[in-house]
Amino acid sequence: MAIPFREVLNSGKFVITGEVGPPKGTNLEKMIHHIDLLKERVDALNVTDNQSSVMRFPSLGTCLLIKEHGGEPVFQMTCRDRNRLALQADLLFAYARGIRNVLCLTGDSITVGDHKEAKAVFDLDSVQLLHTVHTLESGWDIAGNELDGAVEFCVGACVTPDADPIEPQLIKFEKKVQAGIQFCQTQAIYDLDNFRKFMEYARKLDKNTKILAGIVLLVGARMARFMNESVPGIYVPEELIDELASAPKGKGLEKGIEIAGRLIRQIKEQAICDGVHIMAIGREELVPEILAAAGL
């Protein structure tokens, strides 16, 4: 049995979380393979919730699967697809079936996904969802009705340390901390100098929230440039792009793994934050290699 994530967070060890992306369809073979591959190597496995607004196998169902396979799931919950009734109901269900970690997110816009004509819900936002979890924990729903059986979660949120402009993002982070979170996983970071600045701010705000730096595997210079251009909140420094570009043909991925490993090692050795959250986005089988490159 996996160690409860809350205990890992409180143990003081360098925390490593990974991620699985559910498939579009009911063939779960590949995902189960990823779960089995990663469950022993990471402290918890996040499950994305209709990631990038693309309809997929549900986060909640995948969390149950991870539990069945002996892993520790982090239930990612976005506000995009469910109103406050559905969100609360899913939280009750998740708790009743042994899921103990939840990551509260706003969710991407409907229009970036594959059901562009759908109605975006956003009945709650991420801060309100955090409050909702805590209200359910107190034995009440958010309409003020008493629950027959409450919930208890290790609650997390996310933050974008490279947001532009950063100030409004920091205020939102402050509100999340005030709402009460045990951990925070960041958007992908590549610029450690900037990340250090963010951590200085975060530590001043609150010492107890565990911050896990987001690590997204770069597979080449083109991907890095694309992310700089098109993905909000991600900044890949020019030196890293040059380094990727300098890799011999066909070796871009190896270089990317090396960079990811190096970032993790630097974060750990310099104790910049409390751990890392590795997002391999469809290349989960490479996570062991990334960890090896990090010396973990």
Partner 1 sequence: MIVAERKPLEEIKEMIAGYKRILIVGCGTCVTICWAGGEKEVGILSSQLRLAFGKDGNELLTSEVTIERQCEREMVEELRDKVQEVEAILSLGCGAGVQTIAEVFEETPVYPALNTKFVGMPEREGVWVETCRACGDCLLGETGGICPVVRCAKGLLNGPCGGTKRGKCEVDPEKDCAWTLIYRRLEKQGRLDLMRKYYPPRNFQAVTRPGKVEALQA
Q: Closest approach of Cβ 89 to partner 1, in Å?
A: 16
Cβ proximity to partner 1, 75 vs 122, nearer residue:
122
CA 179 to CA 182: how far, in whole Å?
A: 10
- Which residues touch 33 (CB under 8 Å, ≥6 apart)? 285
Residue 98, amino acid: G
Q: Closest approach of Cβ 234 to partner 1, in Å?
A: 9
188 counts as binding partner 1 under rule CB under 8 A: no
Q: Taking CB under 8 A as the rule, which mask of x and - marks residues 116-135 in contact with partner 1?
A: ----x-xxxxxxx--xx---
Q: Closest approach of Cβ 241 to partner 1, in Å?
A: 18
Cβ proximity to partner 1, 1 vs 143, nearer residue:
143
46 counts as binding partner 1 under rule CB under 8 A: no
163 counts as binding partner 1 under rule CB under 8 A: yes
Q: Taking CB under 8 A as the rule, which mask of x and - marks residues 210-249 in contact with partner 1?
A: ----------------------xx----------------
Residue 160 near residue 186 (C-beta atoms within 8 A): yes
Cβ proximity to partner 1, 66 vs 227, nearer residue:
227
Residue 234, amino acid: I
Phi-psi label, residue 271: left if phi above 0, alpha if psi -120 to 50, beta otherwise: left
- Judged by CB under 8 A, the residue of 137, 141, 174, 254 near partner 1 is 174
277 counts as binding partner 1 under rule CB under 8 A: no
Q: Note the helical H segments in the chain.
A: 5-11, 29-38, 59-68, 84-96, 126-137, 167-179, 192-205, 221-230, 238-245, 252-269, 287-293
Spatial CA neighbour of 210 closest among 6, 3, 2, 49: 6
177 counts as binding partner 1 under rule CB under 8 A: no
- Judged by CB under 8 A, the residue of 175, 225, 265, 283 near partner 1 is 175
Residue 191 near residue 162 (C-beta atoms within 8 A): yes
Which residue in this structure is represented by tokens 């805590």?
Answer: 134
Residue 189, amino acid: I
205 counts as binding partner 1 under rule CB under 8 A: no
Q: How far is CA 199 from CA 204, 233, 271, in A?
A: 8, 16, 11
106 counts as binding partner 1 under rule CB under 8 A: yes
Helix (H, G, I), strand (E, B) or coil at 252: helix
Chain residues that interact with partner 1, rule: CB under 8 A: 80, 84, 106-109, 111-112, 120, 122-128, 131-132, 142, 158-160, 163-165, 167-169, 171-172, 174-175, 178-179, 187, 232-233
